[in-house]
A and B are shown apart, each in its own frame.
Chain A
Amino acid sequence: MFHLPWHIVLPTLLGTVLVGALCSALGTLVVRMNLSSLGFAMAHAAFAGAALGLTLSAAEPLWFALIFSGAVAAILGPLADASRMNADTILGVVFPVTMALGLVFLYTAPSSGIGSGALSLLWGSVLGVTMSQVAWLGILSAAVAVLLLAFGKELLALLLDRKLAEAAGMPTRATFYGILFLIAIVVAVSLRITGGLLIYALMVLPASAAFQWAYDIKKVFVLAPVLGVGSAFGGALLSLGADLPIGSAIALSATAVYLLSIAASPKRRRPR
Protein backbone atom coordinates (compact mmCIF):
# COMPACT_ATOMS: atom_id res chain seq x y z
CA MET A 1 0.00 0.00 0.00
CA PHE A 2 2.77 2.44 0.91
CA HIS A 3 6.07 3.01 -0.81
CA LEU A 4 7.81 3.56 2.52
CA PRO A 5 8.94 0.78 4.91
CA TRP A 6 6.89 0.09 8.04
CA HIS A 7 9.54 1.35 10.43
CA ILE A 8 8.86 4.81 8.94
CA VAL A 9 5.12 4.42 8.39
CA LEU A 10 4.32 3.17 11.89
CA PRO A 11 5.82 6.08 13.88
CA THR A 12 4.21 8.52 11.44
CA LEU A 13 0.75 6.99 11.91
CA LEU A 14 1.11 6.77 15.69
CA GLY A 15 2.49 10.30 15.88
CA THR A 16 -0.29 11.82 13.78
CA VAL A 17 -2.95 10.04 15.83
CA LEU A 18 -1.51 11.46 19.06
CA VAL A 19 -1.08 14.94 17.57
CA GLY A 20 -4.66 14.76 16.27
CA ALA A 21 -5.99 13.94 19.74
CA LEU A 22 -3.84 16.56 21.47
CA CYS A 23 -4.52 19.44 19.11
CA SER A 24 -8.25 18.87 18.84
CA ALA A 25 -8.72 18.43 22.61
CA LEU A 26 -7.09 21.81 23.17
CA GLY A 27 -8.90 23.10 20.11
CA THR A 28 -12.13 22.79 22.08
CA LEU A 29 -10.77 25.46 24.44
CA VAL A 30 -9.43 27.56 21.56
CA VAL A 31 -12.71 27.56 19.63
CA ARG A 32 -14.99 28.14 22.60
CA MET A 33 -12.84 30.96 24.02
CA ASN A 34 -12.29 32.63 20.62
CA LEU A 35 -8.53 32.23 20.95
CA SER A 36 -8.06 31.33 17.29
CA SER A 37 -5.95 34.40 16.48
CA LEU A 38 -3.75 33.92 19.51
CA GLY A 39 -3.23 30.24 18.75
CA PHE A 40 -2.53 31.00 15.10
CA ALA A 41 0.11 33.51 16.21
CA MET A 42 1.64 30.90 18.54
CA ALA A 43 1.82 28.33 15.76
CA HIS A 44 3.73 30.69 13.50
CA ALA A 45 5.99 31.81 16.32
CA ALA A 46 6.80 28.13 16.93
CA PHE A 47 7.68 27.80 13.24
CA ALA A 48 10.01 30.84 13.45
CA GLY A 49 11.64 29.41 16.58
CA ALA A 50 12.24 26.01 15.01
CA ALA A 51 13.73 27.71 11.94
CA LEU A 52 16.12 29.62 14.20
CA GLY A 53 17.08 26.31 15.81
CA LEU A 54 17.94 24.94 12.37
CA THR A 55 20.00 28.04 11.54
CA LEU A 56 21.97 27.59 14.75
CA SER A 57 22.32 23.86 13.95
CA ALA A 58 20.74 23.04 17.29
CA ALA A 59 20.45 19.35 18.12
CA GLU A 60 16.74 19.78 18.79
CA PRO A 61 15.18 22.81 17.02
CA LEU A 62 11.84 22.17 18.71
CA TRP A 63 13.19 23.62 21.97
CA PHE A 64 13.45 26.94 20.11
CA ALA A 65 9.89 26.44 18.84
CA LEU A 66 8.76 26.01 22.43
CA ILE A 67 10.56 29.17 23.57
CA PHE A 68 9.06 31.24 20.75
CA SER A 69 5.48 30.02 21.14
CA GLY A 70 5.78 30.35 24.93
CA ALA A 71 7.02 33.92 24.50
CA VAL A 72 3.99 34.78 22.35
CA ALA A 73 1.73 33.32 25.04
CA ALA A 74 3.52 35.35 27.74
CA ILE A 75 3.54 38.63 25.80
CA LEU A 76 0.25 38.58 23.93
CA GLY A 77 -1.76 36.66 26.55
CA PRO A 78 -2.07 39.63 28.94
CA LEU A 79 -2.99 41.95 26.06
CA ALA A 80 -5.69 39.63 24.77
CA ASP A 81 -6.79 38.85 28.33
CA ALA A 82 -7.53 42.46 29.18
CA SER A 83 -9.07 43.08 25.72
CA ARG A 84 -6.46 45.77 25.16
CA MET A 85 -5.74 44.34 21.73
CA ASN A 86 -8.33 42.79 19.47
CA ALA A 87 -7.83 39.49 17.68
CA ASP A 88 -7.33 40.98 14.22
CA THR A 89 -4.57 43.26 15.50
CA ILE A 90 -2.78 40.34 17.16
CA LEU A 91 -2.91 38.40 13.91
CA GLY A 92 -1.96 41.39 11.79
CA VAL A 93 1.14 42.15 13.84
CA VAL A 94 2.41 38.71 14.78
CA PHE A 95 1.74 36.78 11.57
CA PRO A 96 3.98 38.83 9.20
CA VAL A 97 6.74 39.17 11.83
CA THR A 98 6.91 35.46 12.65
CA MET A 99 6.59 34.37 9.02
CA ALA A 100 9.29 36.82 7.95
CA LEU A 101 11.60 35.69 10.76
CA GLY A 102 10.92 32.03 10.02
CA LEU A 103 11.66 32.40 6.30
CA VAL A 104 14.82 34.44 6.97
CA PHE A 105 16.05 31.76 9.41
CA LEU A 106 15.22 29.00 6.90
CA TYR A 107 17.03 30.90 4.14
CA THR A 108 20.16 31.11 6.27
CA ALA A 109 19.88 27.53 7.58
CA PRO A 110 22.72 25.21 6.48
CA SER A 111 20.41 22.91 4.50
CA SER A 112 18.00 25.44 3.03
CA GLY A 113 16.30 25.02 -0.31
CA ILE A 114 12.98 23.78 -1.61
CA GLY A 115 12.53 20.15 -0.78
CA SER A 116 15.10 20.18 1.98
CA GLY A 117 14.43 18.77 5.43
CA ALA A 118 14.44 22.31 6.80
CA LEU A 119 11.32 23.15 4.84
CA SER A 120 9.49 20.27 6.48
CA LEU A 121 9.00 22.77 9.31
CA LEU A 122 6.59 24.53 7.00
CA TRP A 123 4.44 21.65 5.81
CA GLY A 124 5.41 18.69 7.99
CA SER A 125 7.19 15.46 7.22
CA VAL A 126 6.45 11.75 7.36
CA LEU A 127 10.16 11.12 7.60
CA GLY A 128 10.78 13.28 10.64
CA VAL A 129 9.03 11.10 13.24
CA THR A 130 10.88 8.60 15.39
CA MET A 131 9.54 6.12 17.94
CA SER A 132 11.23 8.12 20.69
CA GLN A 133 9.27 11.22 19.62
CA VAL A 134 6.10 9.14 19.55
CA ALA A 135 6.83 8.09 23.12
CA TRP A 136 7.24 11.74 24.17
CA LEU A 137 3.98 12.61 22.38
CA GLY A 138 2.29 9.78 24.28
CA ILE A 139 3.56 11.13 27.60
CA LEU A 140 2.42 14.66 26.68
CA SER A 141 -1.01 13.35 25.63
CA ALA A 142 -1.41 11.54 28.94
CA ALA A 143 -0.30 14.66 30.85
CA VAL A 144 -2.79 16.86 28.95
CA ALA A 145 -5.60 14.35 29.62
CA VAL A 146 -4.77 14.36 33.34
CA LEU A 147 -4.65 18.18 33.41
CA LEU A 148 -8.01 18.48 31.61
CA LEU A 149 -9.59 16.09 34.10
CA ALA A 150 -7.92 17.59 37.18
CA PHE A 151 -8.89 21.15 36.26
CA GLY A 152 -12.14 20.24 34.51
CA LYS A 153 -14.32 22.41 36.77
CA GLU A 154 -12.09 25.45 36.33
CA LEU A 155 -12.08 24.98 32.56
CA LEU A 156 -15.83 24.43 32.32
CA ALA A 157 -16.54 27.54 34.41
CA LEU A 158 -14.26 29.61 32.19
CA LEU A 159 -15.77 28.18 29.00
CA LEU A 160 -19.30 28.98 30.16
CA ASP A 161 -18.66 32.65 30.87
CA ARG A 162 -15.57 34.31 32.24
CA LYS A 163 -17.39 37.01 34.19
CA LEU A 164 -19.70 34.47 35.83
CA ALA A 165 -16.72 32.30 36.73
CA GLU A 166 -14.88 35.26 38.21
CA ALA A 167 -17.97 36.34 40.15
CA ALA A 168 -18.24 32.83 41.64
CA GLY A 169 -14.64 33.00 42.89
CA MET A 170 -12.97 30.78 40.28
CA PRO A 171 -9.26 31.36 39.51
CA THR A 172 -9.96 32.58 35.97
CA ARG A 173 -6.66 34.34 35.27
CA ALA A 174 -4.48 31.40 36.30
CA THR A 175 -6.69 29.06 34.27
CA PHE A 176 -6.50 31.32 31.21
CA TYR A 177 -2.69 31.49 31.28
CA GLY A 178 -2.48 27.77 31.94
CA ILE A 179 -4.49 27.17 28.76
CA LEU A 180 -2.25 29.49 26.73
CA PHE A 181 0.97 27.78 27.82
CA LEU A 182 -0.53 24.35 27.23
CA ILE A 183 -1.41 25.42 23.68
CA ALA A 184 2.13 26.76 23.23
CA ILE A 185 3.63 23.42 24.31
CA VAL A 186 1.33 21.30 22.13
CA VAL A 187 1.88 23.54 19.09
CA ALA A 188 5.67 23.33 19.45
CA VAL A 189 5.72 19.57 19.97
CA SER A 190 3.33 18.89 17.07
CA LEU A 191 5.27 21.09 14.66
CA ARG A 192 7.51 18.37 13.25
CA ILE A 193 4.61 16.25 12.05
CA THR A 194 2.11 18.79 10.75
CA GLY A 195 4.38 21.74 9.95
CA GLY A 196 4.08 25.33 11.12
CA LEU A 197 1.76 26.50 8.37
CA LEU A 198 -1.04 24.02 8.86
CA ILE A 199 -0.90 22.80 12.45
CA TYR A 200 -3.63 25.22 13.22
CA ALA A 201 -6.05 23.36 10.98
CA LEU A 202 -5.82 20.38 13.32
CA MET A 203 -6.51 22.58 16.31
CA VAL A 204 -9.53 24.45 15.00
CA LEU A 205 -11.33 22.26 12.45
CA PRO A 206 -12.05 19.03 14.43
CA ALA A 207 -13.13 21.05 17.48
CA SER A 208 -15.35 23.29 15.34
CA ALA A 209 -16.81 20.15 13.77
CA ALA A 210 -17.49 18.64 17.22
CA PHE A 211 -19.40 21.78 18.24
CA GLN A 212 -21.75 21.09 15.32
CA TRP A 213 -22.84 17.80 16.88
CA ALA A 214 -23.44 18.54 20.56
CA TYR A 215 -25.03 21.10 22.87
CA ASP A 216 -23.18 19.69 25.86
CA ILE A 217 -19.58 20.86 26.25
CA LYS A 218 -18.60 17.58 27.97
CA LYS A 219 -19.65 15.66 24.86
CA VAL A 220 -17.70 18.12 22.70
CA PHE A 221 -14.59 17.37 24.78
CA VAL A 222 -14.99 13.66 23.95
CA LEU A 223 -16.00 14.09 20.32
CA ALA A 224 -13.33 16.62 19.28
CA PRO A 225 -10.36 14.27 19.88
CA VAL A 226 -12.24 11.47 18.09
CA LEU A 227 -12.70 13.70 15.03
CA GLY A 228 -9.13 14.99 15.43
CA VAL A 229 -7.72 11.46 15.42
CA GLY A 230 -9.87 10.59 12.41
CA SER A 231 -8.74 13.70 10.53
CA ALA A 232 -5.08 13.15 11.36
CA PHE A 233 -5.15 9.43 10.53
CA GLY A 234 -6.99 10.08 7.26
CA GLY A 235 -4.51 12.79 6.37
CA ALA A 236 -1.54 10.56 7.18
CA LEU A 237 -2.92 7.76 4.99
CA LEU A 238 -3.51 10.26 2.17
CA SER A 239 0.00 11.60 2.54
CA LEU A 240 1.65 8.18 2.62
CA GLY A 241 -0.50 6.78 -0.20
CA ALA A 242 -0.40 9.76 -2.59
CA ASP A 243 3.01 11.11 -1.57
CA LEU A 244 1.62 14.48 -0.46
CA PRO A 245 3.00 16.79 2.24
CA ILE A 246 1.53 15.44 5.46
CA GLY A 247 0.53 18.84 6.88
CA SER A 248 -1.47 19.64 3.75
CA ALA A 249 -3.08 16.20 3.66
CA ILE A 250 -4.16 16.48 7.32
CA ALA A 251 -5.54 20.00 6.77
CA LEU A 252 -7.58 18.75 3.77
CA SER A 253 -8.84 15.75 5.71
CA ALA A 254 -9.84 17.96 8.69
CA THR A 255 -11.58 20.39 6.35
CA ALA A 256 -13.61 17.52 4.86
CA VAL A 257 -14.65 16.40 8.38
CA TYR A 258 -15.65 19.97 9.22
CA LEU A 259 -17.70 20.45 6.04
CA LEU A 260 -19.46 17.10 6.53
CA SER A 261 -20.28 18.06 10.11
CA ILE A 262 -21.71 21.40 8.99
CA ALA A 263 -23.86 19.65 6.38
CA ALA A 264 -25.13 16.94 8.72
CA SER A 265 -25.30 18.98 11.93
CA PRO A 266 -28.50 18.35 13.92
CA LYS A 267 -28.31 22.00 14.98
CA ARG A 268 -29.14 23.05 11.44
CA ARG A 269 -32.19 20.84 11.02
CA ARG A 270 -35.46 22.71 11.05
CA PRO A 271 -38.19 21.25 13.26
CA ARG A 272 -41.01 19.66 11.24
Chain B
Amino acid sequence: MDGPVVALDAVDAAYEGERSAALHGVTLRVRAGERLVIAGPNGAGKTTLLEVINGLLPFQYGEVRVFGRAVAAEGRRLRTRIAYMPQDLSFPPTTPFLVRDVVMAARYAQIGPFRWPSAEDRRHVACALDAVGIRTLAGRPIGRLSGGQQRKALLARALAQGSRLLLLDEPTANLDPVARDEVARVVSRVEEELGATALVVSHEAGPLRDGADRLVCIEDGRIVADTPQTPSRAALVPAGVA
Protein backbone atom coordinates (compact mmCIF):
# COMPACT_ATOMS: atom_id res chain seq x y z
CA MET B 1 0.00 0.00 0.00
CA ASP B 2 1.19 3.53 -0.77
CA GLY B 3 -0.02 5.45 2.30
CA PRO B 4 1.12 5.01 5.88
CA VAL B 5 0.41 1.67 7.57
CA VAL B 6 -0.72 3.51 10.71
CA ALA B 7 -2.19 7.01 10.69
CA LEU B 8 -3.55 8.88 13.71
CA ASP B 9 -5.02 12.37 13.39
CA ALA B 10 -5.65 14.51 16.48
CA VAL B 11 -6.75 11.54 18.57
CA ASP B 12 -8.11 12.00 22.08
CA ALA B 13 -8.81 8.82 24.07
CA ALA B 14 -9.91 8.19 27.65
CA TYR B 15 -10.57 5.02 29.63
CA GLU B 16 -14.17 4.39 30.66
CA GLY B 17 -15.11 6.15 33.87
CA GLU B 18 -12.06 8.44 33.81
CA ARG B 19 -12.46 12.16 33.29
CA SER B 20 -9.01 12.99 32.03
CA ALA B 21 -7.92 11.77 28.61
CA ALA B 22 -5.05 9.29 28.35
CA LEU B 23 -4.15 10.61 24.89
CA HIS B 24 -4.43 14.26 23.83
CA GLY B 25 -4.45 15.28 20.17
CA VAL B 26 -2.04 12.57 19.06
CA THR B 27 -1.04 12.72 15.40
CA LEU B 28 1.29 10.06 14.05
CA ARG B 29 2.25 8.45 10.74
CA VAL B 30 4.11 5.13 10.47
CA ARG B 31 5.33 3.96 7.07
CA ALA B 32 5.57 0.34 5.91
CA GLY B 33 8.68 -1.41 7.18
CA GLU B 34 9.46 1.13 9.88
CA ARG B 35 10.34 0.19 13.43
CA LEU B 36 9.11 2.81 15.78
CA VAL B 37 10.01 2.65 19.44
CA ILE B 38 7.65 4.42 21.83
CA ALA B 39 9.19 5.59 25.08
CA GLY B 40 8.05 7.61 28.04
CA PRO B 41 7.49 7.46 31.78
CA ASN B 42 4.95 5.16 33.44
CA GLY B 43 1.37 6.26 32.76
CA ALA B 44 2.43 8.47 29.84
CA GLY B 45 0.05 6.79 27.38
CA LYS B 46 2.34 4.32 25.57
CA THR B 47 0.09 1.27 26.06
CA THR B 48 -2.99 3.41 25.42
CA LEU B 49 -1.57 4.39 22.05
CA LEU B 50 -1.19 0.72 21.03
CA GLU B 51 -4.70 -0.11 22.28
CA VAL B 52 -6.17 2.76 20.24
CA ILE B 53 -4.33 1.61 17.12
CA ASN B 54 -5.69 -1.93 17.32
CA GLY B 55 -9.16 -0.75 18.32
CA LEU B 56 -9.21 -2.27 21.81
CA LEU B 57 -9.77 1.18 23.32
CA PRO B 58 -12.37 3.41 21.66
CA PHE B 59 -11.24 6.99 21.09
CA GLN B 60 -13.43 10.04 21.54
CA TYR B 61 -12.01 12.47 18.96
CA GLY B 62 -9.89 12.28 15.84
CA GLU B 63 -9.33 9.45 13.39
CA VAL B 64 -7.25 6.25 13.39
CA ARG B 65 -6.55 4.34 10.20
CA VAL B 66 -4.60 1.09 9.84
CA PHE B 67 -3.73 -0.29 6.41
CA GLY B 68 -5.81 2.65 5.11
CA ARG B 69 -8.99 1.49 6.88
CA ALA B 70 -10.82 3.21 9.71
CA VAL B 71 -10.30 1.41 13.02
CA ALA B 72 -13.55 2.81 14.43
CA ALA B 73 -15.58 1.07 11.71
CA GLU B 74 -13.59 -2.12 11.11
CA GLY B 75 -11.85 -2.73 14.41
CA ARG B 76 -12.39 -6.47 14.77
CA ARG B 77 -11.68 -7.30 11.13
CA LEU B 78 -8.51 -5.20 11.25
CA ARG B 79 -7.34 -6.90 14.42
CA THR B 80 -7.01 -10.19 12.56
CA ARG B 81 -4.24 -8.40 10.58
CA ILE B 82 -2.49 -6.84 13.58
CA ALA B 83 -0.25 -8.86 15.88
CA TYR B 84 -0.41 -7.58 19.44
CA MET B 85 1.70 -8.53 22.41
CA PRO B 86 0.30 -7.04 25.64
CA GLN B 87 2.50 -5.81 28.45
CA ASP B 88 0.78 -6.94 31.59
CA LEU B 89 -0.27 -10.48 30.80
CA SER B 90 1.14 -13.41 32.72
CA PHE B 91 -0.30 -16.88 33.13
CA PRO B 92 -0.73 -18.37 36.63
CA PRO B 93 0.58 -21.92 37.24
CA THR B 94 -2.90 -23.45 36.97
CA THR B 95 -3.56 -22.12 33.46
CA PRO B 96 -4.80 -25.18 31.52
CA PHE B 97 -3.19 -24.37 28.18
CA LEU B 98 -0.07 -25.75 26.51
CA VAL B 99 2.41 -23.37 24.91
CA ARG B 100 1.60 -24.59 21.39
CA ASP B 101 -2.12 -23.92 21.96
CA VAL B 102 -1.44 -20.42 23.26
CA VAL B 103 0.53 -19.67 20.09
CA MET B 104 -1.99 -21.37 17.79
CA ALA B 105 -4.84 -19.31 19.26
CA ALA B 106 -3.41 -16.26 17.48
CA ARG B 107 -4.39 -17.84 14.16
CA TYR B 108 -7.96 -18.81 15.08
CA ALA B 109 -9.55 -15.61 13.75
CA GLN B 110 -7.88 -16.11 10.37
CA ILE B 111 -8.91 -19.76 10.15
CA GLY B 112 -12.53 -18.67 10.28
CA PRO B 113 -15.67 -20.26 11.74
CA PHE B 114 -16.43 -24.01 11.65
CA ARG B 115 -12.86 -24.96 10.69
CA TRP B 116 -9.95 -26.30 12.71
CA PRO B 117 -6.22 -25.53 12.27
CA SER B 118 -4.60 -27.08 9.19
CA ALA B 119 -1.09 -28.43 8.67
CA GLU B 120 -0.19 -24.99 7.33
CA ASP B 121 -1.33 -23.38 10.59
CA ARG B 122 0.74 -25.88 12.57
CA ARG B 123 3.75 -25.04 10.41
CA HIS B 124 3.32 -21.33 11.17
CA VAL B 125 3.22 -22.13 14.88
CA ALA B 126 6.35 -24.30 14.68
CA CYS B 127 8.22 -21.56 12.79
CA ALA B 128 7.19 -18.94 15.35
CA LEU B 129 8.32 -21.17 18.23
CA ASP B 130 11.62 -21.76 16.41
CA ALA B 131 12.09 -18.05 15.81
CA VAL B 132 12.03 -17.26 19.53
CA GLY B 133 13.88 -20.43 20.46
CA ILE B 134 11.21 -22.17 22.52
CA ARG B 135 10.15 -25.05 20.29
CA THR B 136 11.21 -27.52 22.97
CA LEU B 137 8.67 -25.92 25.31
CA ALA B 138 5.74 -26.42 22.92
CA GLY B 139 4.15 -29.22 24.95
CA ARG B 140 4.65 -27.57 28.36
CA PRO B 141 1.83 -25.87 30.28
CA ILE B 142 2.18 -22.12 29.75
CA GLY B 143 1.69 -21.39 33.45
CA ARG B 144 4.69 -23.54 34.35
CA LEU B 145 7.11 -21.37 32.37
CA SER B 146 9.18 -18.57 33.86
CA GLY B 147 8.13 -14.96 33.29
CA GLY B 148 10.75 -14.55 30.56
CA GLN B 149 9.69 -17.77 28.81
CA GLN B 150 6.08 -16.62 28.91
CA ARG B 151 7.10 -13.35 27.24
CA LYS B 152 8.81 -15.36 24.51
CA ALA B 153 5.68 -17.49 24.08
CA LEU B 154 3.61 -14.32 23.68
CA LEU B 155 6.10 -13.01 21.13
CA ALA B 156 5.87 -16.33 19.26
CA ARG B 157 2.11 -15.93 19.35
CA ALA B 158 2.38 -12.47 17.79
CA LEU B 159 4.69 -13.83 15.08
CA ALA B 160 2.46 -16.85 14.37
CA GLN B 161 -0.36 -14.53 13.40
CA GLY B 162 1.67 -13.75 10.25
CA SER B 163 0.75 -10.08 10.37
CA ARG B 164 2.65 -7.24 8.72
CA LEU B 165 1.96 -4.94 11.63
CA LEU B 166 3.37 -5.80 15.05
CA LEU B 167 2.34 -3.91 18.16
CA LEU B 168 4.69 -5.06 20.91
CA ASP B 169 4.23 -3.71 24.42
CA GLU B 170 7.42 -4.11 26.44
CA PRO B 171 8.44 -7.33 24.66
CA THR B 172 11.71 -7.57 26.56
CA ALA B 173 10.30 -7.09 30.06
CA ASN B 174 11.53 -9.83 32.45
CA LEU B 175 14.12 -11.05 29.94
CA ASP B 176 17.82 -11.46 30.62
CA PRO B 177 20.30 -9.52 28.42
CA VAL B 178 20.91 -12.51 26.11
CA ALA B 179 17.17 -13.04 25.59
CA ARG B 180 16.70 -9.30 25.02
CA ASP B 181 19.22 -9.43 22.17
CA GLU B 182 17.44 -12.50 20.76
CA VAL B 183 14.08 -10.72 20.78
CA ALA B 184 15.59 -7.68 19.05
CA ARG B 185 17.04 -9.97 16.37
CA VAL B 186 13.70 -11.73 15.91
CA VAL B 187 11.86 -8.43 15.47
CA SER B 188 14.51 -7.27 12.97
CA ARG B 189 14.27 -10.52 11.04
CA VAL B 190 10.47 -10.31 10.81
CA GLU B 191 10.76 -6.75 9.58
CA GLU B 192 13.32 -7.78 6.97
CA GLU B 193 11.64 -10.98 5.78
CA LEU B 194 8.00 -9.87 5.81
CA GLY B 195 8.52 -6.16 5.35
CA ALA B 196 6.64 -5.88 8.60
CA THR B 197 6.08 -2.63 10.46
CA ALA B 198 6.65 -2.65 14.21
CA LEU B 199 5.56 -0.29 16.96
CA VAL B 200 7.43 -1.28 20.09
CA VAL B 201 6.85 0.16 23.54
CA SER B 202 10.11 0.03 25.43
CA HIS B 203 11.28 2.34 28.14
CA GLU B 204 14.63 0.68 28.55
CA ALA B 205 17.75 1.31 26.48
CA GLY B 206 18.90 -1.74 24.54
CA PRO B 207 19.07 -3.38 21.16
CA LEU B 208 15.35 -2.93 20.42
CA ARG B 209 15.67 0.82 20.79
CA ASP B 210 19.10 0.96 19.16
CA GLY B 211 17.80 -0.72 16.04
CA ALA B 212 14.74 1.51 15.67
CA ASP B 213 14.09 3.84 12.76
CA ARG B 214 12.33 6.38 14.95
CA LEU B 215 12.01 7.08 18.64
CA VAL B 216 8.71 8.61 19.72
CA CYS B 217 8.51 10.00 23.25
CA ILE B 218 5.19 10.40 25.02
CA GLU B 219 4.46 12.35 28.17
CA ASP B 220 1.05 13.01 29.69
CA GLY B 221 -0.66 11.54 26.63
CA ARG B 222 1.10 13.87 24.18
CA ILE B 223 3.88 13.15 21.71
CA VAL B 224 6.71 15.38 22.86
CA ALA B 225 9.43 14.12 20.51
CA ASP B 226 9.61 12.12 17.28
CA THR B 227 13.20 11.66 16.14
CA PRO B 228 14.98 9.44 13.59
CA GLN B 229 17.43 6.98 15.13
CA THR B 230 21.01 6.14 14.22
CA PRO B 231 22.77 3.84 13.68
CA SER B 232 20.57 1.92 11.30
CA ARG B 233 19.12 -1.31 12.62
CA ALA B 234 20.87 -3.08 9.74
CA ALA B 235 24.01 -2.93 11.87
CA LEU B 236 22.22 -4.95 14.53
CA VAL B 237 21.26 -7.91 12.38
CA PRO B 238 24.07 -10.46 12.24
CA ALA B 239 25.10 -11.72 8.83
CA GLY B 240 23.05 -14.68 7.65
CA VAL B 241 20.08 -14.03 9.92
CA ALA B 242 18.02 -11.76 7.68
Contacts and interface: CB of A to CB of B under 8 A. Distances in A.
B54 A167 contact: yes
B111 A153 contact: yes
Given A168-B84, A211-B96, A214-B96, A163 B105 contact: no
B94 A157 contact: no
Given A166-B56, A166-B79, A168-B108, A267 B94 contact: yes
Nearest to A220: B96
Contacts of B81: 169
B106 interface: yes
B86 A167 contact: yes
Nearest to A214: B96
A220 B98 CA distance: 12
Contact of B116 (A32, A153, A171, A217): A153
Contacts of A214: 96
Contact of A171 (B76, B105, B141): B76
A1 interface: no
A33 interface: no
B77 interface: yes
Contacts of A32: 96
Interface hub of B96, B111, B117, B161 (most chain A Cβ within 10 A): B96
B97 interface: yes
Interface in A180-228: 211, 214-218, 220
B96 A217 contact: yes
Contact of A211 (B79, B82, B94, B101): B94
Interface residues of A, number: 28
Contacts of A164: 86, 89, 105, 157
A167 B108 CA distance: 12
Contact of A157 (B108, B113, B141): B108
A161 interface: yes
Contact of B76 (A154, A169, A218): A169
B105 A169 contact: no
B94 to A, nearest CB: 7
Interface string A157-178: 1011101111111110000000
Interface of A: 32, 150-154, 156-157, 159-161, 163-171, 211, 214-218, 220, 267
Interface of B: 54, 56, 76-82, 84, 86, 89, 94-98, 101-102, 105-106, 108-109, 111, 113-114, 116-117, 141, 143-144, 157, 161
17 contacts: A150-B113, A160-B102, A164-B157, A167-B79, A167-B84, A168-B80, A168-B105, A168-B106, A168-B109, A168-B161, A169-B76, A169-B77, A211-B94, A215-B96, A215-B98, A215-B141, A216-B97
